Amino acid sequence: MSERYTLDRYVEDLRQITQKTDNEDEIISRVGPLAQRLASEKNWLQPKHYETDAAQGFGAYLLHEEPDHTLAVFAVNWLPGRGTPPHDHGTWAVVAGVEGIERNIRYRRLDDRSRPGYAELEVKHDINADAGELICIKTGGIHLVRNETDRVTLSLHTYGKHVNYNDRSQFDLETKEKKDFIVRVE
């Protein structure tokens, strides 16, 4: 029988990985399997992690954050029929599905980024991520998440830096407006 993988062990592993390299590809490739392992263990889950924020459409629970706001780990749940606008994170992200299927649409920017507050996007990939599956995004990547099921879904999110302490944007596909994106975190 293998040893249970805990949140504390995951955080230690994150620290070791990011102390050895700042290469995002390497970090993501090493963190991904560990995030999947922690997501499958579920020993870190608490009943409150299923409590959603109806106004926001999802609940975000901080599980860990370093004093300098790096290595932020969250439990994020999504209400049925709800999700996020297209957004970036301002850092790398590794998301592991815990419960339920979440639609993930990735975008590419078409504009030259010369107009402040403006962004033109087109769909790059559209996938459904189930429990145990990974969504990995490098700094600058743009995506949205949507729960198209009839149940609350849950995922484990790990970021190089807490998303509310970064230059993070949300995008309006119709108006092509780009603006700040801050989430309420418990």
Q: Which residues of 99-136 are buried (b: 16+ CB within 10 A; e: fewer)?
A: bbbbbbbbbebeeeeeeeeebbbeeeeeeebebebbbb
The answer to whether 154 touches 100, Cβ cutoff 8 Å, is yes
Percent of the chain at pLDDT above 70? 99
pTM for the structure as a whole? 0.95
Q: Tell whether the model's pLDDT for residue 3 goes beyond 90.
A: no
Strands (E), 100-177: 102-109, 121-129, 134-137, 142-146, 153-161, 169-171
pLDDT of 118: 98
**Residue ranges per structural domain of the chain:** 7-180
pLDDT of 1: 52
What is the arithmetic mean of pLDDT over 52-75?
Answer: 97
Q: Tell whether the model's pLDDT for residue 56 goes beyond 70.
A: yes
**Measured between alpha carbons, how far is 111 from 85 in angstroms, rounded to an integer?**
18
Please give the structure tokens belonging to residue 166: 């970064």
Percent of the chain at pLDDT above 90? 98
pLDDT tens digit sequence for 19-49: 999 999 999 999 999 999 999 999 999 999 9
pLDDT of 184: 95
Length of the chain: 186
- Domain range 7-180, CATH architecture: Sandwich (2.60)
What is the arithmetic mean of pLDDT over 95-115?
Answer: 97
What is the arithmetic mean of pLDDT over 129-138?
Answer: 96
pLDDT of 119: 97
**Measured between alpha carbons, how far is 15 from 175 in angstroms, rounded to an integer?**
40
What is the arithmetic mean of pLDDT over 57-75?
Answer: 98
What is the arithmetic mean of pLDDT over 106-116?
Answer: 96
Q: Tell whether the model's pLDDT for residue 150 goes beyond 60.
A: yes
Q: How large is the greatest C-alpha to C-alpha distance in the chain, in angstroms? A: 57
